[in-house]
Every structure is written in structure tokens, then in C-alpha cells.
Amino acid sequence: MFVPVGNIGGVNDWDGPESVLAGKPIAAAEELRAAAAGGRWELASHGLRHCDLRALPAPERRAQLLAAQERLSSLAGRPVLDLAYPFGLSDQAVRADARAAGYRMAFADSRRQAATASRSPACPSAARRAGRPSGSSSSRTSATSSDSLAGWRAGSPARGLKGWRS
């Protein structure tokens, strides 16, 4: 399960109001810890605040990648080495920083990658809180509340996903 660490116990504040996922609760730390401890779920990183990592200055991007990994590893009680890029978007610099942070594998959405010429706000939730529109999308792989944890099914692998492994 890909977890946006800074939103644990909060809500999906990165998707716009047009998304059915906007405002949905994110699992609390205790729920995630129990899911991981039960062996039914593996926790993986979805960034710190579900920001478009391409739009962040390199030092901030590196800090977010490391902070997300460290906090989630502490919560999971084991090293977290996998990442799904927020919005499925990355570039060469983002991928290099993810590798340098110690992620062994990362996932991007090649369909979104090819279709996204302009960059979305670095952190859509910050733009929305300030009253500015954001260019965001849905993410069906993020951690959801305990009500959804019991019924969530991965189904078949998403088309268009691609990743790297170190």
C-alpha cells in the first residue's frame, strides 16, 4: 500500500473536488501499523505530502524523499524501500534522487508521464488551501481509512505502470 506519509490520519487533500477520492480519509498510524504487522499489507512510500516531485527544488525533493522513507520505515518496523511517485510522475532528476535516498524500486504511470507536458503545483494541497486551483489527479493506490482497508482489492496490475529496480 503506497502511503503519503504526511497525510497519515488526515484526508486526501491533493485531488480536486471533481475526484471521488477528494477528502477521503487516510488511515491512521495505528491502522497502518496493524495492517503491516498482520502480514496482509506491505507499506511503501507515496512521498511525504503527495507533491509533484518534479516541481520541487532538488534539496527539498531529497529531504521529502528521505523523510517519507524514514517515517514510514519507523511506522512499519522495517526498511521501506519502494516508492510510487505522486501523480505517477517523475523525471531523470527525481529518479536519481529516489535512488540516492535508497529506494530499490519506484513506479510511474507512463500514460500520465507522456500526457503531462506542464507541471502541476509542487504541492496541490498547499495551493488548494491558499485558494488557488491545482492540477491534480486521482490516485487509487494511496492508503485509505480502515473502512476501506478491509474491502480494498488490488485487482490486476494497472496498465501503464512502469518502474525501475536497483
pLDDT digits (tens, 9 = 90+) for 74-97: 999 999 999 999 999 999 999 999
pLDDT score at 83: 97
Q: What's the DSSP call for residue 78?
A: S
Stretch 44-52: mean pLDDT: 94
Window from 58-62, 81-85, 126-130 with minimum mean pLDDT: 126-130
Residue-number span of the structural domain to which 80 is assigned? 2-165
Cβ atoms 15, 139 nearer than 8 A: yes
pLDDT score at 110: 79
pLDDT of residue 50 exceeding 80 = yes
Mean pLDDT in the chain? 77
Alpha carbon distance 153, 60 (integer Å): 34
pLDDT score at 111: 79
pLDDT of residue 166 exceeding 60 = no
pLDDT score at 91: 94
Alpha carbon distance 166, 113 (integer Å): 21
pLDDT score at 15: 87
Please tell me the total count of domains within the chain: 1
Cβ atoms 6, 48 nearer than 8 A: yes
Which helix (H) or strand (E) segment is 93 a member of? helix 92-100
Residues 6+ apart with CB under 8 A from 103: 45, 65, 69, 81, 82, 83, 166
Stretch 95-103: mean pLDDT: 96
Give the Å distances, CA to CA, from 71 to 37, 76, 118, 144, 152. 16, 9, 30, 18, 24
pLDDT score at 115: 64
Give the Å distances, CA to CA, from 61 to 19, 20, 23, 47, 145. 26, 28, 25, 9, 27
